[in-house]
């Protein structure tokens, strides 16, 4: 497993298993399978309505909690201090854990009182800051925040977000949002990096993949030939 290191020193696995739409009776088994094949980063959210299943899958997997990096998110209906505190409390209960490795504000714009979005974002962020200081959450961040959403939050925040989770895949790279986040010290985390599988059917991507595979095969073959042809230095 390879990791990125957040600015507070927390290590986050480079590859995570997203659980969006993992909601039917097989959800627990899917999470168990993901962990059994090597995933150690699970990403869920209150809005996904599957935290109980994710928690059950973790518990049944036999993998120690300390070896799993667990992310969840606060939905846009809960962008206030009290509602965010309640959201995290409910997440902890459903996930059968007493701490989160990463918690994100899921969207910058609330469903209601949209003209007060800056005030609501900051109020929710204050709750995450408190929980971070209390070590209930090891790292805090945002999701789907563009530069004009980040600027007012970071101006007032006591603790800078550590992560900005953005939709990012071939064909939709959000270069300005990515660069701005990185300039501010945030790790940019891609959601839907395969474009919900659409990327796997894109002709240009397929052509590039075939050319890359052929190149790697040629390189591997050349390396093998060179190895066979070289004299042995040791018995």
Between CA 64 and CA 37 the distance in angstroms is: 15
Between CA 121 and CA 142 the distance in angstroms is: 10
| 39 counts as catalytic | no
Angle in degrees, 0-180, between the axes of helices 27-36 and 51-61, rounded to the nearest 10: 40
Between CA 63 and CA 40 the distance in angstroms is: 9
Cα–Cα nearest to 180, from 146, 208, 155: 146
Catalytic residue among 39, 48, 168, 180: 48
What amino acid positions are annotated as catalytic residues? 48
């Amino acid at each position: 497993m390879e990791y990125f290191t957040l600015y507070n020193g927390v290590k986050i696995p480079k590859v995570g298993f997203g659980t969006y739409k993992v909601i039917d009776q097989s959800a627990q088994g899917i999470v168990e399978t993901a962990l059994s094949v090597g995933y150690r980063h699970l990403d869920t959210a209150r809005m996904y309505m599957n935290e109980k299943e994710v928690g059950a899958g973790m518990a049944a997997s036999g993998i120690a909690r300390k070896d799993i990096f667990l992310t969840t998110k606060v939905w846009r209906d809960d962008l206030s201090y009290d509602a965010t505190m309640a959201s995290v409390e409910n997440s902890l209960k459903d996930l059968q854990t007493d701490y989160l490795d990463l918690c994100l504000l899921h969207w910058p714009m609330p469903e209601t009182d949209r003209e007060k979005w800056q005030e609501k974002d900051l109020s929710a962020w204050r709750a995450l800051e408190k929980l971070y200081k209390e070590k209930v959450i090891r790292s805090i961040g945002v999701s789907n925040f563009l530069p004009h959403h980040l600027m007012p939050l970071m101006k007032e925040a006591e603790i800078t977000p550590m992560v900005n989770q953005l939709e990012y895949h071939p064909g939709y790279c959000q270069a300005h949002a990515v660069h701005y986040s990185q300039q501010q010290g945030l790790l940019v985390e891609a959601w839907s990096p395969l474009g919900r599988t659409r990327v796997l059917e894109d002709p240009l991507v397929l052509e590039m993949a075939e050319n890359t595979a052929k190149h790697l095969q040629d390189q591997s073959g050349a390396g093998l030939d060179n190895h066979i042809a070289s004299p042995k230095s040791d018995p």
